[in-house]
Structure 1
């Protein structure tokens, strides 16, 4: 019986227990089924092999009577409101192949009885309230997928994971695991996905020589990792997703990244301490969809070679335009390995990287200088571009209108000058714009999508700008005249202000020079007062005459 993906509501009917030859029962993704699992089902469904009630509103604890389902191999209780501890009785289901208890409110530890599940290959306990250390008995099972994220597991990462020859997916993210990343993790022969993000891992990432690796996704973000860009990554030739953000990595971004990691689609290094220039070899990543180097100490110019992204998905959108996140849907383990967090339009978004329509570049909060390469704006399918909080100068390239699909554009907090190119009004999908805190001048372009962006803060702190939505009118309809007048007036005010400051500073400085000289050197003081006395005597003699 498969009633999944409908809009069923109410409680699960006990009368279904009469179907005593039930082998497969699926009512997942109805979202409104409530109550608990009827106890009659455990007694009569002795032939049940698959049970899936994922993503509903079921309550209560996991009944101990579940051991009566002796031949069950797939048990999916994901996304409900179950409470209590993970039942030790689950360890006595001899045929269990896949167990998914994720996204509930389960507490306690992982039962040691799980060591009896000699056929278990998929274990998902993520997003619960589990705690304690991860037991080593898991290494005795034929596991291929281990998902324990979003709990309160502590201790250090166990080397026992390295003893799982068939392990493909390891997700320990969003826990309290500490210590160093075990070097043997990079040598698990079959692992393709490894997520250790949002823990307390520290020290440098080291490993012995990697002979062969299937890894295509590595997430080490939001830990306390130190040292240079991990050299072990150089050997991961199949890597498509790399996130090192939110650590304390330092040094330069290596030039070998373009040749050694040529299959990268997502590169996220934000919020570290990388310095030096952006290596032009990054542009060799011909499949790149997302480049995030924000919040580092990078210097130099934006590489003109970024124009090479013209031959990538950034200029060849193959799917229909969609402004919202895309999510992979799977009947069992959902989107476990396909998500990436992106700061977009000032908010955090989560996107699927497999069918990701989101493409963009974020170089914000660095020390980049020079002009914005006009070639960069030929990336027609880019969805967001953030170059804010740098030292970029020169004019905004006139071909900015080529960013046909851009939705978020942030060039604020730079030293950009000149007018805003009229072609910016061609950006039909633009919903977030920030050009504030620059040296721009002239009339603000209008028309099309720009009409909806009526927040004056978008253009604030540009002394030479005028027009809607600012309250500064353009005189005589002439944008250039108004802009120059505004700029001249601003410069004149600054010059006047600096003159006042100079006079005051000179007066105070001069006073303290004289006062200090007379106070600390007695010879100068006696000489000064002698001169004063002599002048007084001469004045008195003249008065007597």
Structure 2
């Protein structure tokens, strides 16, 4: 027997090791436990060993290094501990190596970088590995996939990483302790996937990143990069990028013009930086494939451009925590988008399919009624603005809505009864407004029994508040009377202030003449001169 495949069963117990002619042993996705038997090293003809997704414990036997013919070794998703044996460097035919999702510690032996030159796939992610990545990584010229994420690697990203691969390369070094800058030489690699998020990298981004052909995914978020995202002299080359995440850094400047060439972009996150200025009008014509746009927590200002309506595939818009002013864009153009397999005509902002967050800005005006046409939206947050007017009566049309936050505005009038049609609603906040009348009940609203949902709306009554609506008319009359009385007091204070100012000014003038002899003499001389001139 040369090939034994017992994967995807429920076998348990120790691993069998008495088949000396095996070339392929597949025992993955079972319940094997205990340690990896040292006797596996006697299977000298073994080329592929698959032990991933079991309950194996203990360390990796040093003797496995004797499997000099092995080409694929998968030990992922077990509970292995200890360090990588230096003897693995004898596996000079090794092409696929995966030991991710274990508890392996220590550093990667230098001998592996020196001798395992045929490596195509190297995955040690989700472990506890330490140390730096040496320049010897340049020996892995056949590498297509490098996964080092979620460890505690330190030091700088080696310059030699730019020498890897003559074909498309995927690199994920996220969630480590790498420091320094991104080496310019990285642009020499034919990158397809680059993720270096959650590290301590700094400085400006190499301008060459924007001209890499074949790069479809780049995640540099949660570092300390600074400066402009792209200098003004960055070449405006077409890009293949589909996803770009630069969030949680210290980038400044304006919305980068270089992004205008990312015509295939589907995901863009520039949140939590210090980018200022306005959202450019060309965003509508340039990002026709964009589905997610996140600009949260920056210093953008001006109005929200209506050109966002030209993004026919946009599903999530997050512009929260900026300085946007003006009103939420109303309808200007009809655009047909495909939602759940059917065509729907939507207008402007209402075409945004699953989520809108415009909270913590300075938006004013009324809530556009077009928002209620967005039948697929799941989350709507426009809290902490200066919005006025009524809640649209068609709010109940948003039957897939799970979260609605309209708090901290100046909304007035009654809460529409149609809000009880929101059968999927799990989160609601209408507090700190000027709403009045009886709170609608029924359906999902009965489960939202926290009074703070409606707090600081002096005109509301009914469940879950402790204000009975039987006294609502008298309460409303009292409230209106209080408002009129408040206005009368304001008028009275205005008159008193004007009168007091006039009296004070007169006495101040005549008091000065009375007590100051020189002023009084000059005043009367001026009067005499005017009298002589009139005569």
Change beyond 3 A, Cα 1:51–1:485: farther
Task: Tell me the CA shift for residue 210 of structure 1.
Answer: 2.6
Contact 1:168 1:191 (8 Å CA) reproduced: yes
Matches within 5 A, 1:35-434: 35-43=58-66, 45-91=67-113, 92-142=115-165, 144-164=169-189, 166-204=190-228, 205-305=231-331, 308=334, 311-313=337-339, 359-434=354-429
Structure 2 CA distance for aligned equivalents of residues 39 and 51 of structure 1: 14
1:207-259 residue CA offsets vs partner (Å, 9 max, x unmatched): 53333311111111111111111000111111111111111111110111111
Structure 1 CA distance for aligned equivalents of residues 272 and 234 of structure 2: 25
Unmatched tracts of structure 1, length 5 or more:
319-356, 528-545
Structure 1 CA distance for aligned equivalents of residues 486 and 493 of structure 2: 14
Secondary structure of the structure 1 residue equivalent to 2:26? coil
Structure 2 CA distance for aligned equivalents of residues 384 and 130 of structure 1: 38
Structure 2 CA distance for aligned equivalents of residues 100 and 358 of structure 1: 37
Contact 1:49 1:72 (8 Å CA) reproduced: yes
Structure 2 counterpart of 1:454, from 449, 455, 464: 449
Change beyond 3 A, Cα 1:3–1:62: same
1:488 aligns with 2:511: no
1:154-188 residue CA offsets vs partner (Å, 9 max, x unmatched): 21221101111x21111121112111111111011
Indicate the residue corresponding to 2:49 in structure 1. Answer: 25
Secondary structure of the structure 2 residue equivalent to 1:271? coil
Return the TM-score normalized by structure 2. 0.82
Task: Tell me the CA shift for residue 106 of structure 1.
Answer: 1.3
Contact 2:61 2:85 (8 Å CA) reproduced: no
Contact 2:226 2:252 (8 Å CA) reproduced: yes
Change beyond 3 A, Cα 1:21–1:506: farther
Higher gyration radius (CA) = 2
Structure 2 CA distance for aligned equivalents of residues 316 and 390 of structure 1: 34
Structure 2 CA distance for aligned equivalents of residues 315 and 274 of structure 1: 35
Structure 2 CA distance for aligned equivalents of residues 37 and 409 of structure 1: 52
Structure 2 CA distance for aligned equivalents of residues 449 and 215 of structure 1: 42
Change beyond 3 A, Cα 1:4–1:305: farther
1:440 aligns with 2:435: yes
Contact 2:353 2:374 (8 Å CA) reproduced: no
Secondary structure of the structure 2 residue equivalent to 1:401? helix
Of Structure 1 and Structure 2, which has the larger fraction of its residues in strand? 2
Structure 2 CA distance for aligned equivalents of residues 6 and 316 of structure 1: 43
Length, aligned pairs only: 481
Task: Tell me the CA shift for residue 419 of structure 1.
Answer: 0.8
Secondary structure of the structure 1 residue equivalent to 2:371? helix
Change beyond 3 A, Cα 1:200–1:316: farther
Task: Tell me the CA shift for residue 309 of structure 1.
Answer: 6.5
1:44-91 residue CA offsets vs partner (Å, 9 max, x unmatched): x33222222223322111111111222111111222211111221221
Secondary structure of the structure 1 residue equivalent to 2:314? coil
Change beyond 3 A, Cα 1:361–1:312: farther
1:258-302 residue CA offsets vs partner (Å, 9 max, x unmatched): 111111011111111111111111111111111111111111111
Using the TM superposition, name which of 298-307 and 415-424 deviates more. 298-307
Structure 2 CA distance for aligned equivalents of residues 379 and 316 of structure 1: 13
Task: Tell me the CA shift for residue 521 of structure 1.
Answer: 6.7
Change beyond 3 A, Cα 1:440–1:224: same
Change beyond 3 A, Cα 1:403–1:27: farther
Unmatched tracts of structure 2, length 5 or more:
1-24, 345-351, 518-535
Contact 1:75 1:98 (8 Å CA) reproduced: yes
Contact 1:315 1:380 (8 Å CA) reproduced: no
Secondary structure of the structure 1 residue equivalent to 2:82? coil
Structure 2 CA distance for aligned equivalents of residues 504 and 258 of structure 1: 50
Using the TM superposition, name which of 300-309 and 99-108 deviates more. 300-309
Return the TM-score normalized by structure 1. 0.81
